[in-house]
């Protein structure tokens, strides 16, 4: 049985191979938290992905996952449980949040690749643009990308050039907007229900009231007492 390389050595060898093959093509290699990420210019995606799949140094034959990312609110958060409030940044709080639509690095597509031959994993990241995010489809390299790309299109509005059937996958075909975008309202834009008289689904204005979402806070009081005899619930008052 061939001895597998250590995890640390494997990551170092992979990073070195990526630098050697793709640095001249404008790619960037990042190593953090025990993981290797290759950032690829959008115009080089298919060439680099094809080499990652077929070259003997890589053989990333399997696409494990593909997803979209919206970086417009990256680094802005109020999710600190000890100081939670109804003020500060948050889609439920900050009504004036307005992402830069023309930011070329607002949207990205992230691919997770697996090489069974070398026992390695790799994250691939491609920035898709802001106002009209688009990258090439990798369905021709990994067929499993078909539904993954449709999901990213549905939820983030990212277009995949060359995809043969880019339709919504999780929302209704008449759905307005892309619900995983940071500027999409938490309560949605319309609500839908089945109307038995019309015998079809109808869309109506949202009837629920917006509410501010704050993190769950664990409080040290009698509600969490271990002895049920000493516990007093607010409902008993």
pLDDT digits 0-9 by tens, 164-173 = 999 999 988 7
pLDDT in tens, 24-72: 999 999 999 889 999 999 999 999 999 999 999 999 999 999 999 999 8
Coil, strand or helix: which one is 70? strand
Share of the chain above pLDDT 90, in %: 56
pTM above the 0.85 mark?
A: no
Residue pair 188/178 in contact by the 8 Å Cβ criterion: no
CA distance linking residue 219 with residue 202, whole number of Å: 43
Residue 4: pLDDT band (50, 70, 90) is very low
| CATH entry 3.30.460.80 includes domain 7-186 | yes
Q: How confident is the model at residue 225 (pLDDT cuts 50, 70, 90)?
A: low
Which has more pLDDT, 11 or 148?
148
């Amino acid at each position: 049985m061939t001895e597998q390389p250590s995890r640390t050595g494997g990551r170092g060898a992979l990073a070195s191979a990526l630098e050697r093959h793709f640095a001249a093509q404008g790619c960037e290699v990042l190593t953090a938290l025990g993981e290797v990420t290759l950032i690829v210019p959008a115009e080089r995606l298919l060439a680099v992905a094809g080499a990652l799949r077929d070259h003997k140094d890589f053989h990333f034959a399997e696409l494990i996952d593909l997803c979209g990312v919206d970086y417009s609110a990256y680094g802005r958060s109020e999710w600190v449980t000890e100081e939670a409030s109804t003020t500060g940044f948050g889609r439920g709080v900050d009504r004036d949040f307005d992402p830069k639509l023309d930011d070329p690095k607002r949207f990205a597509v992230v691919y997770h690749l697996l090489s069974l031959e070398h026992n390695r994993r790799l994250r691939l990241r491609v920035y898709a643009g802001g106002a009209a995010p688009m990258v090439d489809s990798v369905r021709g390299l990994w067929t499993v990308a078909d539904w993954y790309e449709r999901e990213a299109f549905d939820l983030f509005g990212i277009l995949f050039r060359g995809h043969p059937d880019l339709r919504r996958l999780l929302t209704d075909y008449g759905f307005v907007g892309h619900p995983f975008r940071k500027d999409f309202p938490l309560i949605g834009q319309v609500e839908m229900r089945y109307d038995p008289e019309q015998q079809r689904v109808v869309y109506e204005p949202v009837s629920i009231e917006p509410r501010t979402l704050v993190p769950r806070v664990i409080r040290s009081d009698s509600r969490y007492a271990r002895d049920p005899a000493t516990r007093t619930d607010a409902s008993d008052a």
